[in-house]
Amino acid sequence: MDVPPGCLKFPLRLRRLRNLGMLLNFSIMIYDERIPIEPTYPAVKASEADSIEVNIKEASFDKLTFRDLQHAPPGPCYVGLKNNVATRLMKTTLNDWPPETPDYVSHNVLKNYIQETSRVNGVDALTIYGARVVDLIKGPTDKQWDLRFTTLRRDSLNGKVEEQKRSLKFDGVVIASGHYHSPRIPDIPGLKQWKQRWPSRVWHSKSYRKPDEFRGKNVLLVGAGTSSTDIARELGPLAKNVYQSHRNGKFDHPASMLPGNAIRVCEVQSFDLNDHEESSGSQSSNSEPTGSTITLKSGEKLCNIDCILLCSGYHMALPFLRRFHEDDTIPSEASDTVLVTNGEQFHNLHKDIAYIPDPTLVFVGVPYFTATFTLFEFQAMVVSQVLSGRAEWPDKQSMREEYRQRVMQKGLGKAFHSLKGVEVEYVKELLSWVNEQGESRGAKRIEGHTEAWHQAKEEFNERMKKMFEGTGMAVESISLPSC
């Protein structure tokens, strides 16, 4: 299985430092023209979404390209992508932003910042690029984690490429593999058949790169969250019409944020093939609209759709820890050892960091709705204190009880990892605990958010409030053209 992309040129990085293994991911900053390997249709289980057991005969690229995509998978970054959290909120203590850096910048500025931070702090020299982690194992009696991965080796003389299997053992492993690598493909009737019929017209938004490709087209965006709304705004000046379907989800953006030629419609009921398309069974040209219709749950139909982008989100998945996946277990029945069930959250983590059954496995970057770099650095500082012996996690029973209380308070699902409105309190609580532990061991005190950060946060919150004001457009008021 492919581990999610990493930080620099080749998207996976593996770091070894004092017998500590780290799997890191910042690929959302890396623009890559290549299109990632598409998941299965549908992909409603976390394990399906990250599977690389793809039939190479059905792939649209040669075997060598396929192997490259396995070992260095492109992320979801598109040409026009910018950060939606101010740079002032994402400054780490390891590096300053260049002077006069605006609050909102292109992905290239973010990439350069991460690359430079990695270089000046010596991390780049400890990194293995283009690695595909296939397994992470620790038996009941083992004292170390066995990390198994493959890399591609190109012979400089004959140009042949061979896959090399490697393994390393670590006392502790940090997983920082991010959220945006395992596309969720909904199980909507007819969607699989549309993908088979028009493979280059139906994509997950992870494959979106440039708005120019949609000039003069009728485009349907499935989903109404951040990526869908941002892509709609990019497509607006070029596309003929943009339709955005939604389910009134708690993470949907208001319709008032859409461009003038975009129409918000209700949820898709089915993707229909006309009699001719059903009988044909072969892939069709992309030069004309499909000729088939899309039925909405309102009973209305969309016709003459040229392209579909599934902005349906991602699974939280750990393909290299398959033994901790239980796809068919409902979240409320998750055991005390499972990490992944329906792909909406990770289970059994203390403070979203330490794996309770074995805290030598830790996570950085799990929470949503945060000032990413800053929050993740605070988590990394805490992890560093623990793994270096300057602090200790609470006993397993205490961690388990706190986790159960949190489940009762927040419920299960994607919102379980949300720090919206409580990020500052979360950091204060973490640092209060780790500083108290560290003082008795002679560790340097870790300071929390700065005054400058708090000021930037206040300005950011005001900006978000203004952006989300407005009630959007009621679906019932829209009259769609008849097919």
> 209-261 pLDDT, tens per residue?
999 999 999 999 999 999 999 999 999 999 999 999 999 888 899 999 999 99
User: Which residue range forms the structural domain that includes residue 106?
Assistant: 13-182+315-449
- Amino acid identity for residue 181 in this structure: H
Structure tokens at 393: 């996690």
> Residue 304 burial (CB < 10 Å; 0-12/13-18/19+)?
middle
Residue 454 lies in a domain: no
- 299 and 416, same domain (yes or no): no
Which among 419, 402, 355, 353 has a CA at the least distance from the CA of 381? 353
CATH number, residue 246:
3.50.50.60
Residue 396 lies in a domain: yes
Total domains present in the chain = 2
Is 55 a residue whose pLDDT tops 60? no
291-349 tens-digit pLDDT: 789 999 999 999 999 999 999 999 999 999 999 999 999 999 999 999 999 999 999 99
Structure tokens at 361: 């496995």
Mean confidence (pLDDT) of the chain: 88
Is 265 a residue whose pLDDT tops 90? yes
pLDDT of residue 267: 97
pLDDT exceeding 70 applies to what percent of the chain?
86
- 274 and 366, same domain (yes or no): no
The H or E element containing residue 220 is: strand 218-222
- 395 and 270, same domain (yes or no): no
- 361 and 321, same domain (yes or no): yes
The length of the chain, given as a count of residues: 483
- 125 and 228, same domain (yes or no): no
- 262 and 281, same domain (yes or no): yes
- 67 and 213, same domain (yes or no): no
d(CA 48, CA 179): 15
Hey, CA dihedral for 404, 410, 411, 415, is it positive or negative?
A: negative
Is 14 a residue whose pLDDT tops 70? no
**In the predicted model, what is the mean pLDDT of residues 12-39?**
67
Residue 112 lies in a domain: yes
* Residue 346, C-beta contacts closer than 8 angstroms, at least 6 positions apart: 316, 318, 339, 340, 352, 363, 366, 417
Contact 357, 71 (CB under 8 A): no
Residue 461 lies in a domain: no
- 165 and 238, same domain (yes or no): no
Residue 368 lies in a domain: yes
Structure tokens at 481: 């053209």
Q: Is the peptide bond before 357 cis (omega within 30 degrees of 0)?
A: no
Per-residue DSSP letter, 97: P
- 64 and 151, same domain (yes or no): yes
Residue 5 lies in a domain: no
Residue 1 lies in a domain: no
77-123 tens-digit pLDDT: 999 999 999 999 999 999 999 999 999 999 999 999 999 999 999 99
Contact 220, 292 (CB under 8 A): no
Is 52 a residue whose pLDDT tops 70? no
- 175 and 208, same domain (yes or no): no
Structure tokens at 110: 């973010």
- 261 and 338, same domain (yes or no): no
- 171 and 27, same domain (yes or no): yes
Q: Could you tell me the pLDDT band of residue 51, with boundaries at 50, 70 and 90?
A: low
pLDDT of residue 474: 42
Residue 482 lies in a domain: no
